[in-house]
Chains A and B, each alone.
Chain A
Amino acid sequence: MASPLEQFRIKPLVDISVGGVNASFTNSALMMMITVVGVSALLYFSMRQRSLIPGRMQSIAELSYTFVANMLRNNVGAEGRKYFPFVFTLFMFVLIGNMLGMIPYSFTFTSHLIVTLGMALVVFIGTTTIGFMKHGLHFFHFFLPHGTPIYLAPLLIPIEVLSYLTRPFSLALRLFANMTAGHTLLKVFGGFVAGLGIIGIIPLAAVVALTGLELLVAFLQAYVFAILTCIYLNDALHMH
């Protein structure tokens, strides 16, 4: 029987190499593309009627719009409007990526640390750049919050710098670990179902319950990723 980790294997579909760098179109890339096309088609065609009273599909599109818009407004404020397309894209990309991963035999690209780290680094570098562009060198005050006694500075500044620098890694690891652990667990229990015969009904029930849990986690992690992006953005725009 295949290892529970087999599902995370990258399989090249089309071998491509750009300047000596491996840029093969893999199963991971395929799922990313399906996500892009799926999100675009879902949102674009659900609004074709532009009805004043939304139908079922239009409601989905409008709900996701207002959901992310409210998240951004509550956490960042009016200044965050500029970054709405980015946060919306990020949320939909992660959410649909997670959800598509729940389909049996498909692939979850968010279970790869390099992918989540790529997104987390974009968020990290982006928010840091915004912080320095808006506040200049004052952005360094971020590491010494207002009202801190000066004698605590030698202790506090390293802690703050460290916690700031670990942000992209915690952001990336959280999504990667949740997805990997959940899918591995599903696979392990799935293996028990086949191996235990009639008693396999017990792990089967567990798999059913875990699938529901994983759907929740798939949404929750997309939400957490987006809301942490909003919080980092708020830190960059408004400091503490």
Chain B
Amino acid sequence: MPQFDPSVWSPQIIWLIVSFVALYYIMSRFVLPRLNEILEEREFRISDSLRRAENLKQEAEQAVAAYEQTMADARAKAQAQIQASHERAERLAAERQAELGDRLVDEIAAAEARIAAARTEAVAGIRDMAADVAGLAVEKLVGTRPAAENVLAAIDDTLKRAS
């Protein structure tokens, strides 16, 4: 085998050293720092973006929380207002009702009084007129006019019986 011919060992060893050292120098001096830089920059960018995303997410969550708080406050306030106006309306309605009731009672009382007066008046008129008519009728029939008191007494008696 050519591998075991000692005459070709020295050139191979020498050129192995030359090429390996050259490759080591190029790698450690130019290639690896550059690769490392690129990879680190990418890692930095990724972690930076992740951190920013995390921040934005937190901000969004805060905004949502604030919005919900505002909504809840507004809803509570609206509820309170509705409640208040409802109560006021009820109170007002009750007051009006009471007032109206009082007035109606008064008016009814007044009307009843008026009716009673009118009735008394009417009844009195009927009595006088009946007395006149009765007096005249008796005069026509009998020729003498009866005493007013007797006629009135008779009428009263009749009215009493009629009512």
Residues of chain B within 8 A (CB-CB) of A119 are 16, 20
Query: Which residues in window 14-51 of B have CB below 8 A to A?
Result: 14-20, 22-24, 26-28, 30-32, 34-36, 38-39, 41-42, 45
Query: Are A33's CB and B45's CB within 8 A?
Result: no
Residues of chain A within 8 A (CB-CB) of B1 are 5, 8, 180
Query: Are A8's CB and B2's CB within 8 A?
Result: yes
Query: Are A35's CB and B16's CB within 8 A?
Result: no
Query: Are A10's CB and B31's CB within 8 A?
Result: no
Query: Are A176's CB and B16's CB within 8 A?
Result: no
Residues of chain B within 8 A (CB-CB) of A113 are 3-4
Most chain A CB within a 10 A radius of its CB, from B10, B24, B38 = B38
Query: Are B11's CB and A23's CB within 8 A?
Result: yes
Query: Are B23's CB and A115's CB within 8 A?
Result: no
CB distance from B34 to the nearest CB of A (A): 6
Question: A32 an interface residue at 8 Å Cβ cutoff?
Answer: yes
Most chain B CB within a 10 A radius of its CB, from A5, A22, A23, A36 = A36
Bound complex: CA of A115 vs CA of B11, how far in Å?
10
Query: Are B24's CB and A89's CB within 8 A?
Result: yes
Bound complex: CA of A12 vs CA of B4, how far in Å?
16
Write the chain B residue with the least CB distance to A111: B3
Query: Are B28's CB and A26's CB within 8 A?
Result: no
Query: Are B15's CB and A26's CB within 8 A?
Result: yes
Residues of chain B within 8 A (CB-CB) of A114 are 3, 8-9, 12-13
Query: Known interface pairs A8-B3, A44-B30, A84-B32. Does A32 touch B39 (Cβ–Cβ under 8 Å)?
Result: no
Which of B2, B4, B5, B19 is within 8 Å of A32, CB to CB? B19
Residues of chain A within 8 A (CB-CB) of B163 are none
Residues of chain A within 8 A (CB-CB) of B30 are 40, 44
Question: B79 an interface residue at 8 Å Cβ cutoff?
Answer: no
Question: B7 an interface residue at 8 Å Cβ cutoff?
Answer: yes
Query: Are A88's CB and B27's CB within 8 A?
Result: yes
Bound complex: CA of A50 vs CA of B38, how far in Å?
6
Question: A192 an interface residue at 8 Å Cβ cutoff?
Answer: no
Query: Are B11's CB and A29's CB within 8 A?
Result: yes
Question: A142 an interface residue at 8 Å Cβ cutoff?
Answer: no
Residues of chain A within 8 A (CB-CB) of B41 are 52
Query: Are A66's CB and B45's CB within 8 A?
Result: no
Query: Are A22's CB and B7's CB within 8 A?
Result: yes
Question: A65 an interface residue at 8 Å Cβ cutoff?
Answer: yes
Which of B2, B3, B39, B45 is within 8 Å of A62, CB to CB? B39
Q: A-side interface residues toward B, CB under 8 Å?
A: 5, 8-10, 12, 16, 18, 21-26, 28-29, 32-33, 35-36, 39-40, 43-44, 47, 50, 52, 58, 61-62, 65-66, 84-86, 88-89, 92-93, 109, 111-115, 118-119, 176, 180
14 extra interface residue pairs, beta carbon distance < 8 Å, beyond A18-B14, A22-B7, A50-B38: A8-B1, A29-B18, A32-B16, A32-B18, A36-B26, A47-B38, A52-B42, A52-B45, A85-B27, A88-B32, A89-B28, A112-B8, A115-B12, A180-B1
Q: B-side interface residues toward A, CB under 8 Å?
A: 1-5, 7-20, 22-24, 26-28, 30-32, 34-36, 38-39, 41-42, 45
For this complex, 18 residue pairs linking A to B, each with C-beta atoms less than 8 Å apart, are: A10-B2, A22-B7, A22-B10, A23-B10, A29-B18, A39-B27, A40-B26, A43-B35, A52-B45, A65-B32, A85-B24, A85-B28, A88-B32, A89-B20, A89-B27, A93-B23, A118-B17, A176-B3
